[in-house]
């Protein structure tokens, strides 16, 4: 596709529910990143994949957060037993493996936990 796409764009969950957020990176992009952006804050790193390998998951705030990219393209960020503090915009970015450092961001998924 022309850019990074994310779905759903908006998600409302009741506290305790599990959610799954999807990211479709730019075709052929090797690296994929997840960031969490709370209201009025800058994005904060969650995790990073190179192809299907998860190379850095140091930003995942708890073991309720899990990310996967099984075939090296589409990625899913799963949050189990959602809490109110999980409410944020979840941004996905992808980067080509060849020579450029620019990360291309999707529009984000706004998660609201009631």
Partner 1 sequence: KQEVTQIPAALSVPEGENLVLNCSFTDSAIYNLQWFRQDPGKGLTSLLLIQSSQREQTSGRLNASLDKSSGRSTLYIAASQPGDSATYLCAVRRGQGGSEKLVFGKGTKLTVNP
Quick one: which of 24, 108, 111, 113 contacts partner 1 (CB under 8 A)? 108
Residue 111: CB minimum distance to partner 1, A: 14
Q: Which stretch binds partner 1 (CB under 8 A): 13-21, 41-49, 61-69, 78-86?
A: 41-49
Q: Identify the DSSP state of 107.
A: -
- Using CA atoms, how far apart are residues 27 and 36, in angstroms rounded to an integer? 23
> What is the token pair recorded at 11?
């998600």
Task: Report angle CA 40, 91, 11 to the nearest 5 degrees.
Answer: 85
On whether the CB atoms of residues 102 and 72 are closer than 8 A, the answer is: no
Binding piece for partner 1, criterion CB under 8 A, among 16-24, 64-72, 77-85, 91-99: 91-99
* Residue selected from 2, 39, 40, 53 as contacting partner 1 according to rule CB under 8 A: 40
DSSP state of 108: -
Residues lying near partner 1 in the complex (CB under 8 A) are found at: 4, 31, 33, 35, 40-45, 48, 55-56, 58-59, 91, 93, 95, 101-108
């Amino acid at each position: 596709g022309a850019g990074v796409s994310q779905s759903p764009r908006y998600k409302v969950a009741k506290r305790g529910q599990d959610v799954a957020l999807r990211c479709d990176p730019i075709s052929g992009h090797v690296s994929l990143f997840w960031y969490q952006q709370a209201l009025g804050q800058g994005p904060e790193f969650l995790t990073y994949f190179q192809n299907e390998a998860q190379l850095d998951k140091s930003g995942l705030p708890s073991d309720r957060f899990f990310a996967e990219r099984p075939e090296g393209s589409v990625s899913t960020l799963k949050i189990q037993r959602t809490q109110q503090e999980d409410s944020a915009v979840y941004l996905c970015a992808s980067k080509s493996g060849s020579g450029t450092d620019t990360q291309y961001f999707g529009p984000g998924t706004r998660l609201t936990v009631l």
